Amino acid sequence: MRILRHRVYGCLFAAQVISLLGTGLATVALSLVAYDLAGGRAGLMMGAVLAVKMVAYVVIAPLASAALSRIPRRWVLIGSDALRMVAALGLPFVTRMWQIFVLVFILQAASATFTPTFQAVIPVVLPDEEDYTDALSLSRLATDLESIASPMLAAALLLIVPGSALFFGTAIGFVGSTCLVLASALPTGLGLSHEADGPDPPFGQRARSGVVAFFTSPSLRPILVLNMAVAAAVAFVLVQTVVVVRSDLGLPESWVAVFLGINGAGSMITALCLPRILRRVPERSVMLRAGILLPAGVLAAGLLLPMAGSGRVRIVLAALWFLIGAGWSGVETPMARIIRRAVRADQLPAAFAAQFSLSHACWLISYPLAGLLGQWGLTPAAVVLAVLAAASLVAGRLMWGPVDRPVIEEVRV
């Protein structure tokens, strides 16, 4: 927590927390608006909304990084928040489904610009590696808390305001984020992808540069498949928890939130432990060892589900949800340290945009896959997703080679 005394980072972290709370309120409000407009087809509509979100994440991040490479990062963050605020203010007034899709795409496109830019700014603001590791853990903690705190805040607000009014809370969150970014006093030239007086590479080259880095750097290439390991395993939890809790365990609706909260707790506790662990153990060893929890946890859950009537099995499943959350954080959080070390400082925006896009491409595959496989039963779905996660983990291990010895030479793209 000591790094929160760093003036610039403290403001940026507060901006991240407030914007995440606003985004969480929007998710709750969208589900309510979807029900008002579509009734019994609200679930289908929300699935389409989430698909629009993922497509925006995958497509927009590298394009925005290339298009805005000459603009100081501070103004990219402020502009993204302003665009998100405008989209959020439009959502309470929608009367057609297509209007929701357009505004959601705009909002998520702005988020696909804001988040990688934010991620690229932090290692420049905090050049010390221990400080940067602490910042990564806090960012992970903020992301997990968002999934818990936002629904609670939404529930409290719904006692006094209609569902559509939650979008105004979202807009207020983005306004607060903008004010905090303004107060952070970021260096004006932060984040330029090349020297200001140098020639501009072609737009296509700038848009591809981050993705090319992941395919050409020996340090970054394994991250591609580890993203798939995370997405395959965690998609089972996020997509099928409601079915596991309500159908297999026969528990009331409130227990869906409990199981998801247990999964988030595993992620948060691991994130808090990582700074101390990473002082002694290389990132790759931590990621691969934590990654074992992902396929192992999903496979064990799938095999236990036929015996879900037992009280002891319920406790074991809850423990497995915790371990999957721990594996999720243990694999994903250290990735940024490797990216920071593998690319030049001026290429960080493109690299983080590529990571944002490529990781969400994995989620775009795993979410519908988890849903489709669940139609044939949760145990077969768990087995298939566990095999996919395990294969991705093994591929990452083979790409990296020996992981317990320090990297002698990094390929800096």
Question: What per-residue confidence (pLDDT) applies to 185?
Answer: 74
| Rounded mean pLDDT, 137-154 | 80
Question: What per-residue confidence (pLDDT) applies to 46?
Answer: 67
Sign (positive or negative) of CA dihedral 219, 224, 225, 231: positive
| Rounded mean pLDDT, 157-186 | 87
| Rounded mean pLDDT, 344-355 | 85
User: Which residue type sits at 52?
Assistant: V
Q: How confident is the model at residue 412 (pLDDT cuts 50, 70, 90)?
A: very low
pLDDT in tens, 20-50: 888 888 877 887 787 777 765 665 676 678 7
More confident residue, 405 or 277: 277
Question: What per-residue confidence (pLDDT) applies to 332?
Answer: 93
Pair 333, 136: CB distance under 8 Å: yes
Domains plus CATH for the chain?
1-192 (1.20.1250.20), 203-413 (1.20.1250.20)
Question: What per-residue confidence (pLDDT) applies to 195?
Answer: 41
Question: What per-residue confidence (pLDDT) applies to 391?
Answer: 97
Question: What per-residue confidence (pLDDT) applies to 402?
Answer: 58
Structure tokens at 72: 């100081």
Question: What per-residue confidence (pLDDT) applies to 84?
Answer: 94
pLDDT higher than threshold 70 for residue 198: no
| Rounded mean pLDDT, 337-353 | 85
Structure tokens at 319: 């423990």
pLDDT in tens, 265-281: 899 999 999 999 998 99
Computed on alpha carbons and rounded to an integer, the radius of gyration of the chain in Å comes to 21
pLDDT higher than threshold 50 for residue 240: yes
pLDDT in tens, 354-402: 998 999 999 989 988 888 888 888 899 999 999 999 999 999 999 986 5
How far, in Å, CA of 143 to CA of 21, rounded?
Answer: 9
Q: How confident is the model at residue 130 (pLDDT cuts 50, 70, 90)?
A: confident
